[in-house]
Structure 1
């Protein structure tokens, strides 16, 4: 443990030195309007990637099984194509999550699996890290039928890739984010939030330096069995006010300025019977004191069924929701100060 800590510290020091040497060549991100980069997020790109991630070839992406590993390789290929590397202190794009770790709770026997991470270093505050997370596993196959998981959570998986692309477009033009960004695709969510729990207990970057987690889980459809059958221009927002009043306020500001979705806080109510706040990967960050926000479209008739396929995604709505997540990430990565932690998480 000590040796790996020193290696990490040394790599972070070198990263900080190299970025600060070039600071004069990096234009001030805080005065840049992100609209140009937000608009690189588009339906065609999201659809292309999702039709692969949620294809029958991936066999429902069950944790530790060959289909999930194929999906993981595809995700890594996209980051390599964008020129986004694995983070300093790691040996590759994988954080291994052993089968033994995933025995906890109600999980069946699972094979060894992996979180996947990619990293854009910060230009001014590289030691401060924003995490953007989504789970890339689903429930696999049942009776020979593929449960594709296009919305759950193929939609979040491709959202991370699209957000990373937008940040890289900005970086190419001299607008690298001030803070570092870790794109974290976690495994084992469907069996008990295992991948995010593993990262939160074995973080590559100290959680005290993790400014926030933006978690994206099911954002490609609408809550057709709920209150949004007629107008899909909404997103459920969960957890934004639990630890940081600033996170909540900033998300509302970004939405009002750039996107204009209806922000629905129904599932954020402390007495909501669904208790979704405790049911996705942001929670493992929140319980460690990291301000966290969960974007969610709600449950529909194909949830955990064989018909959650890529052709049923509403790509116009998905694009709007990804744009909101991107503008929030842009502000959190580029604002002068870290957001405050001024609430108790309850």
Structure 2
């Protein structure tokens, strides 16, 4: 049956109160222990397919068993995820010729590049360069930066984010300040490949990218993992990468183009791509290593409807070894995402203590999120439990370790009925629904819930806002900025015994209540009518 929003809200209010009353305590000791263990140097940054993965998988199986879960994949704890590791070897500089002066960019400090193709050598030679603005083809929005353009064999230079990212409201052709999927770097490369581009280069700009060049350099500096699929990704561009904004300005100057004027023009509908009159060249070897990583799957079987599933997810992986800072080259990923994985274990413990529910609850620790949501994408495309039978769930990616917040933010708000269901649970915590402070970051498209959303499954992605009980919005914004600038995807993201877990515990009680409500209920929360995933869900459910 489908609930109307009013009925759903009324039932949610009652169920929320019951869930809060009956909820076992979330174990603070579990949160601390699991986070500290997974983010220790012994786990070497938890990069998939390394010795750090082996330790992580063994530890998670141990914790899932201890929590009271059963193996969730046909009697097995893991789901193999086939991967291919591609490493850039002996990269040349990224050279642009044919302009007023040659522009040659050093790998790492000025440019980073790689490939999706599984081939031993990439040699991009004298490829004509075209500036394609934001590189978006969105027919439903009447926007096509590739209109009338043939870029086969050419290299496209692309701006990050959406054309209206500088709008401070949520009004605009691409949601104003809120990033759409068209703004994500992954989309930029996907569309460039569909257009036949040989090279696709994104211009880095810290504010619309939502992170500094150091994050790009550390994330792209080592081997990259991709799904190992038939065809070896030959349909993708030869070269994908980023260049520093100052390098882009030098390139445009060499081409005799006004960088600022073209960036401004790209913000407006009807923008026409501009050939720069220069050619790009770069070459590098590609180390190829095929192997498998693992998703960890645990289940609490349901009593009345065991074939219907409520899903909790978090990614266990991080970057492994990365660019050293003060001699430390291990990106430990304590907040991102040892905390979320610890939350997954703590929720499993709490639900097991509360006893079985009508529906089954699945606890999924996925691999290779940092490589592009690969583990969750693989599960969504090869589900252990059919997605049409997956009611919905919660994804956790980085818990709040700076203190309880007054607000709870629905990331990418306005998408599904889960948002209505969670409101009474937030109120029961003495909190309010807050507004996403940095919608330009496109956070909704940057974690594993998106893999399920794309295939129709509603997943809540909500978290503490910046309005802290102690210190208010100023303190929250300062803490968020400090983490992004000083620790995110860097060796400094390490466990701190002085963290304040009050906010994490509050968020986890909300996740617990929503999961329990879904698991004890019989409804099928849907996407709102104007959400991009609604038709996929309706089609899947119609076949049941």
* Class of the TM-score when normalised by the shorter of the 2 chains: 0.7 to 0.9
Rounded to whole Å, the distance in 1 between the matches of 2:85 and 2:518 is 32
Q: Is 1:328 equivalent to 2:514 in the alignment? A: yes
The 1:262/1:83 distance shift into structure 2, 3 A limit, reads same
Question: Which residue number in structure 1 is paired with residue 314 of structure 2?
Answer: 134
Cα pair distance change 1:319/1:33, threshold 3 Å: same
1:309 counterpart = 2:494: yes
Cα deviation 1:108-132 (Å, max 9, x = unaligned): 4445211111001111111111111
Corresponding position of 1:118: 298
Aligned position for 1:3: none
Structure (1 or 2) with the greater helix fraction = 1
Give the Cα separation in 2 of the matches to 1:133 and 1:77.
17
Structure 2 residue 423 is matched with structure 1 residue 252 = yes
Distance 1:336 1:262, change over 3 A: same
Equivalence map 1:10-89=2 (5 Å): 33-35=18-20, 38-87=23-72
Supply the distance in 1 between the matched residues of 2:62 and 2:22 (Cα, whole angstroms): 22
User: Structure 2 vs 1, CA of residues 273 and 82 (structure 1 numbering), >3 Å: closer, same or farther?
Assistant: closer
8 Å Cα contact 1:41/1:162 also seen in 2: yes
Partner of 2:147: none
Q: The residue matched to 2:391 in structure 1 has which SS?
A: strand
1:220 shift after superposition = 2.9
Decide whether aligned partners of structure 1 residues 202 and 231 sit closer, same or farther in structure 2, where only a CA change above 3 A counts. Answer: closer
Cα drift, residue 302 of structure 1 = 1.6
The alignment partner of 1:141 has SS state of strand
Change in Cα spacing, 1:328 to 1:206, as seen in structure 2 (3 Å) is same
CA distance in 1, matches of 2:524, 2:65: 29
CA contact (8 A) 2:410 2:435 kept: yes
**Structure 1 position 97, deviation (Å):** 0.6
* TM-fit CA distance, 1:202: 0.3
Report what 1:23 is aligned to.
Answer: none
How many residues are paired up?
Answer: 300
State how 1:165-314 maps to structure 2 within 5 Å: 165-171=349-355, 176-222=356-402, 232-239=405-412, 241-242=414-415, 244=416, 246-257=417-428, 259-266=429-436, 272-296=439-463, 300=483, 301-311=486-496, 313-314=499-500
Q: Report the Cα offset of residue 239 of structure 1.
A: 3.9
Q: Is the 8 A contact 2:393 2:515 kept in 1?
A: no
Larger radius of gyration: 2
For the structure 1 residues 262 and 307, does the alpha-carbon distance in structure 2 shift closer, same or farther, using more than 3 Å as the test? farther
CA contact (8 A) 1:267 1:275 kept: no
TM-score (norm 1): 0.79
Which segments of structure 1 move beyond 6 Å, counting only runs of 4 or more?
Answer: 104-107
Change (3 A) 1:156 1:198: same
